[in-house]
Each structure stands twice: as C-alpha cells, then as structure tokens.
C-alpha cells in the first residue's frame, strides 16, 4: 500500500488531468445563416474555458511563470526550436499578436469606398466618416488606432485584406485550432509551428537547446506550438521566485517521493517540470539584462510587449513570441470595448517599436496580428456583432520597407454563401510567406509542414536566402513509433538499410533506464517488446526512447502500460 499526503495527491491529480488528450468539440454545420444561437455560444465558451483550464494544468509542454505580473509560457519541446536555432536568420524575430475572440475587421480597417453601405448595415456601431484617419482614399482606421497612422506613414505597417479559409468554422474553439494547426478540413492536434522539423531534428527530446525558440504569453489551450509529444506545465509567482528556481536548478524534490507506482509517477511529473524550468534561468537573465526605454502603461497587451521587448533587448535568442489581447468576442455593447482594445493595440505596438529602436533592433522584429475569425457585416440587436468569417491581418515593423495593402478589401455587397465577408487570401499564405521570407526556412520544409501543399507567396516587403538543410530526405524517411497491443508496449520502426542499432530508454528526468537493443539490424520493419527487452521492472508512465544508427539519433516519448 502506498501512503501519500494530500499535497502529493493534489499535485498528482492535476498532472494526471493534464496528461489527458483533448477531445475536439462537436462543430455545427453552416446553415442558412452564420448567426450563432445563444445556447450554442454559451456551450462554446464553456468548452473553450475547460480546455484552457486543462492547458493551465499542464497538457502540452512548456511551463508558465509570472514575469512582471504577466503569465508567460515557454513553448513545448518541438523541432522548431532546433531548426530556428540553426537557421540563417539569427537576427530575425517574429511576434505573433493574437486578437482573441474574433476581431471585427470592418471596424478595424474601414471601407471608405463603400461607406454608405457600411453605415447602413451598422447604424449604431459604425465609425463616423469624418473621424476616420485615412490610410488611403479607400481605407480608414478609427481614432482609437491613431498611433498606427504614424507607423503607416513611416512605412512600418501593411494590411492583408480578407484573410481566412474556405467554409469558415464559426466556433471559437475549432476555428482557433484551425488557425493554429493550419488544417481546415479535418482535426489535427499539432500546431503549424510545432510540426516544424519533426524529422530534421529528431533527437530534440533528449537534446533540447539551451534557450526556447518560442515563448507564449496567454492563450492557454492554443495548440500553435504543439508537437506530437506532450510535457507538463510549471508556474512561479514572480521574478524573485523565478530567480530562486534558476539559482537552485530545480523546482521540486525528485528524491522525497513514495517508493511505489504512485511515487514513480510523481517523480516523472516533477522531473518534467524541473526540465522545463531550465528555461526560466535564461529568460530571467535576459529580463534582468535590459530595461524598457518607454512607458508602456498598464493595459493588457502593453504589459506583454514590454516584457517581450526586455527579453529581446536582453539577448534572449528566442525566435517566435506569441502575445494575446483578449476581449474581441463583441456580441454586445461593442463600441467602447472594441475601441479600448484597438487603442491598447495601437499604443502598445508603437511603444514596442520605439523601445526596440532604443537598442537599434527595430528592423529585426516583425509583428503580425491574427484572430480566429471576423464578425458579421451587419450589427445585431445588442449593438454588437456576431461571429463572421474573413478579417484583416496587420503586420508591423520597419522590415516591411513601406506601407501598403495586400489583396482587395472584401466586397460587403457580395458576401459568401452564408452572408459573411468572403475571404480573398488564405491564412496559410501569410504563414508560409513569413516562414520562408522572414524566418528563412527552406521552402520545401515549409510545404511539408502544410502537408505537401504550396501556398501563394505574398509580397510583404522582405525576403531572405532560403535555409539549406542537409540530409532532409534521409531524416524524413525513417519512421518510428510506439504501439500498444494486449497490454504490451512495442517500439516499431523501419530500417532504411542494415546497420548497427542501439535503442535506449530514458525516464522523464533524462536518466537512462536501460538498453532495449544493441545489435545489427537488417533493412525492413523491426518490432521490440519494451518490457521484455528491458528485462527489469518498469512502472506505468511516460518514457523517452532513443534510436541511434548511422551517426544519427531519433527520439520520441512512449507510454509504458
């Protein structure tokens, strides 16, 4: 019998909850109207919040900490980390700005060329024509975004009109997953960034880099950085606690655990947390190495971007940041709420680049907004807007080398088949262009992340020489996975040629448990019964295997049942 106290019990139950797989919610079919019923909307948000709660408990990788009063998450282990660390883009950084809830594109980028129709559809929530700042004779932005007019005038802003995808899903949960996974025709539980370099850097689980390639602030439950393997989250309350963690090297004691199956599981959980905490030290060091040159204020996005600026200026070699501005699900009383959000966005982006300019880094950082969907063309009866389809993507930074519009503004008088703004630019074209032309990732690898699809490249004003990745075909040809049959765990892989092979098993502390194989293997399929091969007792739980041959290593997590 294994005795444990309530503290151990609560900690284990949280992580057991975090280890469960997400179940995709049921999505509603697009009927004759794009409007969502109140019952569906309440259910949607209930599901969304439960998913976010599960993420906070620690489903996929990374860990959360409090830094400067803001939640910050180091991304889960993905091959993107190793890829970006080795790419020919060492001085380029991408900041993704998520406008969570479905941003109203028509009240963000206002169609002056068809203002009368716009005003007729939105008698209570429209912007007054005389108050709009003109980006061109055809397009205006509201007074709340006036600081972006300055960036536009300086050639540091572009707008991609009508971004979306075919048969827009109107569920927050599902559409957020589609934007994160870049897969719209089926459920995919991996993110577009998390899939990167799964085969190119196959030994990441055993050899993670010293600094995270992606840092996520907010958006718990979003799978944009999720790969195939999961980890566990960690939390600290403030920078002082973060410094203590960095100094001591661990957050949890991995020795004082019960000597039974429960204790082994607790050891795994604490060990994974401690592994993730290794990023806390370098993040805190960068944060302390720099300061903000401007006063950001205390709004939601302002606090996040002030932290990102300090980490960039402090020398953290992270390539991708995700920040989150919530509150865009404006079904009622939209005018003040949306204006407040746009003011936070406008002021924060301008301050962010002014701050970076203080360190001469403003042209090294590209920022890009995205939202799960836009809003309906007409206002509803609550002086708000309901879920819609296409919406603009805004990009910021001097690297754009001039202002401009990409594509055409959606025609309000020619909506899609359910009455929403029709998309003109596939969101994956934006992703693909940024990956290839800003982060300098090989075009063939980017297409593979999109499952073999090649999307239109947009002229965003920057380019780079593509990264060449050696041995790509060799790496991607080796298939390996854990399989489960009749209560047994097997490791199966297909040898591309005869070679001397070593297969090792590690626990989640990174300690080698034993050797599963160390012998010549012939070309063709191989299958190893893990428990029989290890010839020692294995507690039920998650492990990591490593297959080594031909000078290459391949690792992935595996569950021992």
- pLDDT top residue among 89 and 482: 482
Name the nearest CA neighbour of 90 among 310, 361, 405.
361
**Gap between the Cα atoms of 265 and 252, Å rounded:** 14
Residue among 311, 254, 242, 332 at smallest CA distance from 278: 242
Q: What would the pLDDT profile of 305-319 be if each residue is shown by its tens digit?
A: 988 898 899 998 888
> Whole-number mean pLDDT of the chain?
76
Distance between CA atoms of residues 296 and 343, nearest Å: 12
Torsion, CA 206, CA 212, CA 214, CA 216, rounded to 10: 110
Cα–Cα distance, 439 to 87 (Å, whole number): 8
Distance CA 368, CA 96 (A): 5
pTM given for the model: 0.72
Predicted confidence band of residue 502 (pLDDT cuts 50, 70, 90): very high
Query: Taking the alpha carbons of 172, 69, 315, 205 in that order, is the dihedral positive or negative?
Result: negative
Q: Do residues 394 and 158 lie in contact, with contact meaning Cβ atoms separated by under 8 Å?
A: yes
Spatial separation of the C-alpha atoms in residues 228 and 232, rounded to whole Å: 14
Indicate the SS3 state at residue 323.
Answer: strand
Buried b (16+ CB within 10 A) or exposed e, 19-35: beebeebeeeebeeebb
What is the residue extent of each domain of the chain? 6-21+36-449, 478-560
Nearest to 225 by CA among 259, 177, 271, 257: 177
Does pLDDT of 11 surpass 50? no
pLDDT digit string, tens, across residues 357-373: 999 999 999 999 999 99
- The stretch 7-16 carries a mean pLDDT of 35
Average of pLDDT values for 509-535? 90
Q: What is the pLDDT of residues 468-486, one digit of tens each?
A: 333 333 334 577 888 888 8
Query: What class, spelled out in words, does domain 478-560 have in CATH?
Result: mainly beta
The answer on pLDDT for 77 being more than 50 is no
What pLDDT, on the 0 to 100 scale, is given for residue 550?
82
Q: How confident is the model at residue 379 (pLDDT cuts 50, 70, 90)?
A: very high
Confidence at 222, pLDDT banded by 50, 70, 90: low
Would strands 70-74 and 214-216 be described as parallel, antiparallel, or unpaired? antiparallel
How far apart (Å, rounded) are the C-alpha atoms in residues 385 and 370?
18
How do residues 383-402 score in pLDDT, each as one tens digit?
999 999 999 999 999 999 99
Tokens of 528: 């190893």
Helix (H) / strand (E) containing 6:
helix 6-18
pLDDT in tens, 455-472: 999 999 998 753 333 333
List strand residue ranges (DSSP E) for 57-102, in order: 63-67, 70-74, 93-99
| pLDDT tens-digit series, residues 148-195 | 999 999 999 999 999 999 999 998 888 888 887 778 888 766 666 455
Angle at 496 (CA atoms; ends 495, 502), nearest 5 degrees: 40
Q: What is the C-alpha separation between 337 and 303, in angstroms, rounded?
A: 18
The closest of 462, 548, 452 to 505, measured between CA atoms, is 548
Q: What's the confidence (pLDDT) of residue 88?
A: 52
Under 8 Å between Cβ of 513 and 546: no
Residue 30, pLDDT > 60, answer: no
pLDDT for position 105: 97
How confident is the model at residue 240, as a pLDDT? Answer: 31
Calculate helix-pair angle for 172-181, 38-57, nearest 10 degrees. 50
When pLDDT is cut at 50, 70 and 90, the band that residue 216 belongs to is confident
What is the arithmetic mean of pLDDT over 234-242? Answer: 30
What pLDDT, in 10s, does the model give residues 340-352?
A: 999 999 999 999 9
Q: For residue 386, which of 177, 125, 166, 27 has the smallest C-alpha distance? A: 125
**What does R_g of the chain's alpha carbons equal in angstroms?**
25
Beta-carbon contacts of residue 29 (< 8 Å; ≥ 6 apart): none
Under 8 Å between Cβ of 278 and 106: no
* Alpha-helical segments (H) within 122-201: 146-153, 172-181
DSSP element (H, E) containing 119: helix 115-121
Confidence at residue 37, expressed as pLDDT on a 0 to 100 scale: 44
């Amino acid at each position: 019998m294994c005795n444990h106290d309530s503290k151990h019990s609560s900690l284990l139950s949280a992580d057991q909850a975090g280890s469960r797989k997400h179940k995709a919610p049921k999505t509603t079919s697009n009927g004759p109207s794009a409007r969502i019923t109140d019952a569906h909307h309440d259910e949607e948000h209930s599901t969304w919040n439960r998913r976010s709660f599960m993420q906070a408990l620690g489903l996929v990788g990374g860990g959360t900490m409090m830094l400067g009063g803001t939640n910050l998450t180091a991304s889960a282990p993905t091959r993107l980390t190793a890829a970006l660390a080795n790419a020919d883009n060492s001085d380029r950084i991408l900041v993704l700005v998520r406008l969570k809830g479905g941003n109203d594109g028509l009240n963000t980028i206002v169609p002056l060329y068809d203002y009368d129709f716009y005003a007729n559809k939105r008698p209570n929530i429209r912007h007054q024509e005389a108050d709009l700042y003109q980006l061109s004779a055809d397009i205006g932005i509201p007074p709340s975004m006036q600081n972006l007019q300055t960036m536009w005038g300086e050639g540091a802003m572009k707008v991609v009109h009508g971004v979306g995808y075919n048969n827009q899903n109107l569920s927050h949960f599902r559409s957020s997953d589609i934007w994160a996974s870049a897969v719209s025709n089926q459920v995919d539980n991996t993110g577009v960034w998390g899939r990167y370099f799964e085969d190119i850097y196959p030994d990441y689980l055993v050899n993670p880099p010293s600094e995270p390639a992606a840092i996520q602030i907010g958006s718990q439950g979003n799978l944009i950085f999720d790969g195939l393997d999961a980890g566990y989250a960690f939390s600290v309350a403030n920078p002082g606690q973060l410094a203590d963690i960095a100094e001591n090297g661990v957050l949890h004691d991995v020795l004082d655990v019960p000597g039974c199956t429960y204790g082994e599981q607790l050891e795994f959980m604490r060990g994974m947390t401690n592994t993730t905490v290794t990023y806390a030290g370098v993040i805190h060091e960068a944060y302390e190495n720099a300061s903000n040159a401007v006063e950001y204020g205390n709004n939601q996005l302002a606090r996040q971007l002030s932290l990102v600026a300090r980490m960039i200026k402090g020398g953290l070699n992270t390539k991708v940041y995700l920040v989150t501005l919530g509150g865009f699900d404006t079904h009622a009383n939209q005018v003040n709420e949306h204006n407040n959000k746009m003011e936070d966005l406008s002021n924060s982006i301008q301050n962010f680049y002014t701050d970076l300019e203080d360190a001469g880094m403003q042209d090294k950082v590209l920022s890009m907004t995205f939202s799960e969907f836009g809003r309906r063309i007409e206002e509803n009866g609550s002086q708000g807007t309901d879920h819609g389809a296409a919406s603009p993507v805004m990009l910021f930074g001097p690297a754009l080398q001039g202002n401009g519009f990409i594509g055409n503004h959606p025609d309000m008088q020619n909506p899609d088949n359910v009455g929403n703004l029709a998309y003109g630019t596939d969101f994956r074209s934006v992703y693909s262009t940024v990956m290839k032309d800003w982060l300098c990732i090989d075009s063939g690898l980017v297409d593979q992340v999109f499952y073999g699809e090649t999307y239109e490249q947009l002229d965003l004003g920057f380019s780079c020489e593509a990264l060449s990745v050696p041995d790509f075909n060799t790496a991607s040809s080796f298939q390996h996975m854990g399989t489960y049959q009749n209560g047994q765990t097997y490791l199966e892989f297909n040898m591309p040629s005869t070679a001397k092979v070593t297969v090792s098993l590690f626990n989640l502390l990174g300690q080698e448990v034993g050797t599963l194989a160390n012998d010549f293997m012939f070309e063709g399929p191989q299958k190893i019964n893990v428990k029989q091969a290890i010839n020692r007792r294995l507690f039920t739980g998650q492990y990591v295997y490593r297959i080594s041959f031909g000078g290459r290593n391949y690792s992935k997590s595996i569950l021992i049942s």
